[in-house]
Amino acid sequence: MGQSIQRRQPVKQTIFSTTLNNGIVLLGEELPGLESVAIAFHTPAGAVHDGPGRCGLATLSGEMMLRGAGDRSSRQIVDSLEGAGVQWAQSVSMSHASFAGAMVARQLPIALPIYADILRRPLLPDDQWEPARQMVLQNLAGTEDDPAHRAMSALRQLHYPSPWGMPSEGITAEVEGIGLEDVRAFVSANVRPRGTIIAIAGRIHWDAFVQSMEHLFGDWNAGATQPVVTGQRGPHVRHVQHDSQQTHIALAWPAPPYRSDESYEATAALAVLGGGSSSRLFSEVRERRGLCYSVSAGYHTLRDCAAAVCYSGTSAARAQETLDVMLTEIRRLPGTLEQAELDRVKARAKSALVMQQESSAARAGGIARQWYHLGKVRSLAEELARYDRLSVASIEAWLANHPPQELSVVSLGREPLEVPHEISA
């Protein structure tokens, strides 16, 4: 098999950006041929601002913001959005509270004022507090029944320094102690123009969009940036007792954040390890030994730190062997990269980049993410060129300087696994 052949014919790309006087960043990408438009509002009210003993405050606040805003009740907000055929979503990550919608482009004028109300004029009413709290507690109870989710959540707590590894969905005991006044204070302090990114993609009219954003958000001035105090990391190895047939294994070690240029080398190395069906973990753990159904390696990034992450779930009796094979493959990675492996990783990455251009929602999310991490949007051409510059030598050089070490290891299941002492040291 020879060098991967990729079409060089450029995809037409038109990206816009501007910043309002109050600091709100507006981003846009025109995607020719689409009927839809997707918009995402990211405000800097993420779970990293929860505060000690109040894990889940940001999630409760995000939920409450939807429950009445401007002159609309909770029900009227949802009915108005869904009546216009808007596929809406609300989520809270470590860094942001996000409100998004995808729709047929002509419905945008209906949706924008609703989102403006949610961000600027949330009512946070008394009568919605108990239902909102119960909803968040129900979701937390649901995650207790999802072993893979629990394993990955525990892993992030081990790997990242506090509060960056805390579960954004909250901790039941702490959510129970949060009051509506905490939510009101949190929204007032953290939902603010500076640090807010609004991204739109699809069938857009940029000038008209900027004008309506000026109209809806131009006179919004509130709050100063909230600092985050970064604390310590936890221990490196943890077993979570769970009554299940399968044992879930999650591993992490440090990787450069997305804004570091070396993140390309890191993601490529991880893709070779466990990114596709021809990756080493998939071949060795699943295909050759039949040890599990799912096994993978990937990259997870926050703004200032990131993680190489591996996961597998397998029956308890074969979990130790699975962990051992995973560790062997992780240790074997430096110094063994082959050109053919890199060619495949490049082909997959480039192909995924081009296909993302077919989805307004994916692009609205993508350009906002880039702005948050980089303070700019990289063009598709720039990204493709950066992948072209990846070489076996550049990845091996990075691996030599950053071999997988200081691993965090989580097992979740009936029995703990043996973790070699030296890997977590």
* Residues in 50-89 that interact with other proteins by CB under 8 A: 74-75, 78-79, 82-88
We find the least distance from the C-beta atom of residue 312 to other proteins, in angstroms, to be 10
> How buried is residue 249: exposed, middle or buried, by Cβ count under 10 Å (0-12/13-18/19+)?
buried
257-296: which residues touch other proteins (CB under 8 A)? 276-279, 282-283, 286-294
CB 56 within 8 A of CB 136: yes
141-170: which residues touch other proteins (CB under 8 A)? 141-142, 144-148
- In this complex, which beta carbon is closest to other proteins, that of residue 186 or of residue 282? 282
We find the least distance from the C-beta atom of residue 150 to other proteins, in angstroms, to be 11
Measured between alpha carbons, how far is 189 from 20 in angstroms, rounded to an integer?
A: 20
We find the least distance from the C-beta atom of residue 276 to other proteins, in angstroms, to be 4
CB atoms within 10 A of CB 378: 17
Q: How many residues bind other proteins (CB under 8 A)?
A: 83
- How many alpha carbons lie under 13 Å from residue 239 in its C-beta half-sphere? 13
CB 39 within 8 A of CB 364: yes
Provide the token pair at 371: 């702005």
Provide the token pair at 416: 């703990």
- In this complex, which beta carbon is closest to other proteins, that of residue 360 or of residue 408? 360
We find the least distance from the C-beta atom of residue 293 to other proteins, in angstroms, to be 4
* Cα dihedral: 381, 101, 145, 54 (round 10): 100
Of 120, 122, 124, nearest to 223 by C-alpha is 120
Residue 138, interface with other proteins (CB under 8 A)? Answer: yes
CB atoms within 10 A of CB 235: 10
Residue 4, interface with other proteins (CB under 8 A)? Answer: yes
Q: Please select the residue that binds other proteins; options are 153, 263, 267, 314, rule is CB under 8 A.
A: 314
Measured between alpha carbons, how far is 142 from 155 in angstroms, rounded to an integer?
A: 19
Measured between alpha carbons, how far is 170 from 139 in angstroms, rounded to an integer?
A: 10
Stretch that binds other proteins, among 162-170, 249-257, 345-353, 415-423 (CB under 8 A): 345-353
CB 418 within 8 A of CB 246: no
Residue 221, interface with other proteins (CB under 8 A)? Answer: no
- In this complex, which beta carbon is closest to other proteins, that of residue 94 or of residue 199? 199
Measured between alpha carbons, how far is 220 from 211 in angstroms, rounded to an integer?
A: 15
104-133: which residues touch other proteins (CB under 8 A)? 104, 107, 130-133
CB atoms within 10 A of CB 19: 10
Residue 315, interface with other proteins (CB under 8 A)? Answer: yes
Q: Please select the residue that binds other proteins; options are 196, 246, 370, 411, rule is CB under 8 A.
A: 246
Measured between alpha carbons, how far is 93 from 79 in angstroms, rounded to an integer?
A: 25
- In this complex, which beta carbon is closest to other proteins, that of residue 309 or of residue 345? 345
Residue 355, interface with other proteins (CB under 8 A)? Answer: yes
We find the least distance from the C-beta atom of residue 425 to other proteins, in angstroms, to be 31
Stretch that binds other proteins, among 53-61, 136-144, 301-309, 370-378 (CB under 8 A): 136-144
We find the least distance from the C-beta atom of residue 405 to other proteins, in angstroms, to be 28
- In this complex, which beta carbon is closest to other proteins, that of residue 150 or of residue 373? 150
Cis previous bond, 163, omega within 30: yes
Residue 410, interface with other proteins (CB under 8 A)? Answer: no
